[in-house]
Structure 1
Amino acid sequence: MSAFSPQARWRVKSLLFCHVAALVLMASWVWAPGRAVWDAMDAAVFHLLNGSLGHLALWDWLWALTSTRVFDILVGAVLLVLLIHTGAVFDERQVRPALFTFLALLSVLLVIRVLFDRMAVPMGWQHVSPSLAFEDAYHLSDHFPLLERVFELKDRSRRSFPGDHASVLLLWGLFMALFTQGRWRALVLGLATLFMLPRLVAGAHWLSDDLVGGLVIAVLALGWGYCTPLGSQIARLLAFLAQPFLYLGAQLPWLRRLALFRQPPL
């Protein structure tokens, strides 16, 4: 486990690496020969994963339930617990600054996502989900109408690039991987990958939506949010704004046991 401290200085080499990595990823997808490879992988992965549906009821129910908004909330809870649980990745003194730093990274990701979206349409990068591109696609929303009406199944989109859901998961995985080693690093990266699967199985996203679009946004957000003082400054602002809630939590017996509510402000 690596020590965590809020990033308050420029890491030019790391920031440059993030930009080069993002550029190489995008170039591999935009460049015609590379795009042909990505398109082939996209189609193969879609038919492999989505093609597994429609044969076993329990299997279909699994992916239908994990493709709902409610499951997204449960995933968010799991990610939060691993982030703030003392000893999982961060020790007692690191939990609060780590949480607000990650929230700062999410803020940076949101800005980058908006800017990226403004480029995607005029550049011709936008496309429909594979579930809308292939006539033989298995649509979970058609076979589970009650789940679709009540919880909204995410199995199709007219604008699937980049993978927003994947960008958040990948940002969490990359951030946590910076401070873990061995099995813990494998665990956090494995969880990020596992939680991306429902959208791929349901056909809401192509593989490249996640591994190109989502990863590019996550890498850039990590670069600007943790390789510059920006993330630290946003984290301090968020911690200041959260003081009333942290004080309230510290007064409640079932919350004040958590390190998050026992630590001094950033």
Structure 2
Amino acid sequence: MKKTAAQILLWNVFGIALLLSQYYTYRQGFWFDFDSTVFHYFNQFLDGSHKGFLYLIAITNHRSFDVVSFLAMALLYFCYFHKQSNENKRKMIAIGLMMLIMAVCIKQWGRFIPIAHESPTLYFEPFEHINRISQLTHFGTKDASGDSFPGDHGMMLMIFAAFMWRYFGLKAFIQSVIIVVIFSAPRIIAGAHWFTDVYVGSLAITSIVLSWFLLTPACDYVANFLLRFIPKRFFKTS
């Protein structure tokens, strides 16, 4: 019990420290300088001279491409699912439903964070020339946001990674983190999100909220409750 309490405290201190560092430096200071460097580094390659890269970022930032990130998570989940016994498969379905419910709840909770700012494309556009992939490709893609903090897309990916860690161990977590990095990168490269929208904002909120859920019996209670609604007849043992 003491170890669990210490872990929860640690994750909360970590998350709060990230949010405070963002709050006090997102317009000037360390995080702003870092965010600006990341944005300008990638934006220089979106000038149209690298057509393949330009269209890759455009495609991976299209709303429909979110289906691909969902399929990547579903595929990894299935890799663990098909190895389980029938009873554990029922539990994994319950865990998957619980994951979706928590994702919706955490997304709503994130709206109460008193930090709001526009994406780097909108922030820098009045002051300097920047490359907008939506204008260069005339492709309906996301390269701007009026309120980009926290990164909702990155937060959903991180929630998945946290659940995989809790229920399937370190190897599953590392595999999930690879998915987080791959599918959160296009938003940052395009300038639709600052680096810190994802790796400070999303990470902080996920760390704070999920520590109270995944490190306590709450997650098992919810999973067992949802398990009641999953018919056993579909998972009969042969």
Q: TM-score, normalised by structure 1?
A: 0.75
The corresponding residue for 1:4 is none
Q: How far apart are residue 263 of structure 1 and its match?
A: 7.0
Decide whether aligned partners of structure 1 residues 127 and 94 sit closer, same or farther in structure 2, where only a CA change above 3 A counts. Answer: same
Q: Which runs of 5 or more residues in structure 2 are unaligned?
A: none
Contact 2:94 2:230 in 1 (8 A): no
Sequence identity (%): 27
2:119 paired residue number: 129
Alpha-carbon deviation of 1:168?
Answer: 1.0
Give, in whole Å, the separation in 1 of the partners of 2:198 and 2:58. Answer: 19
The Cα RMSD (Å) is 2.8
Q: Do structure 1's residue 202 and structure 2's residue 190 form an aligned pair? A: yes
Q: 1:185 to 1:229 in 2, by over 3 A?
A: closer
The alpha carbon displacement at 1:228 in A equals 2.2
Which residue does the alignment assign to 1:23? 16
User: In 1, Cα distance between the equivalents of 2:144 and 2:6?
Assistant: 39
Once residues 69 and 18 of structure 1 are traced to their aligned partners in structure 2, the CA distance between those partners, rounded to angstroms, is: 32
Distance 1:230 1:36, change over 3 A: same
Q: Distance in 2 between matches of 1:205 and 1:187?
A: 23
2:59 to 53, 62, 65: 65
- Indicate if the aligned counterparts of 2:81 and 2:92 stay in contact, CA closer than 8 A: no
Q: Between 104-113 and 21-30, report the one with greater CA deviation.
A: 104-113
CA distance, structure 2, for counterparts of residue 141 and residue 169 of structure 1: 24
Partner residue in 1 for 2:40? 47
**Shift of the alpha carbon at 1:94?**
4.1
Instruction: Count matched residues.
Output: 229
The equivalent residue for 1:216 is 204
- Letter paired with 1:53: L
Summarize deviations over 1:20-50 as a string: whole Å, max 9, x none: 1111211222245996111011001111122
Report the residue type matching 2:221 in the other structure. Q
The 2-side partners of 1:210 and 1:160 are apart by 9
Measured in 2, the distance between the counterparts of 1:164 and 1:50 equals: 22
2:155 equivalent to 1:167: yes
Post-superposition offset of 1:208: 0.8
Sort the Cα spacing of 1:239 and 1:74 in 2 relative to 1 into closer, same or farther, 3 A.
farther
8 A Cα contact 2:4 2:216, kept in partner: yes
Indicate if the aligned counterparts of 2:26 and 2:32 stay in contact, CA closer than 8 A.
no
The answer to whether the 8 A contact 2:122-2:144 is kept is yes
Equivalent residues of 1:50, 1:203 under 8 A apart: yes
Aligned to 1:176: 164
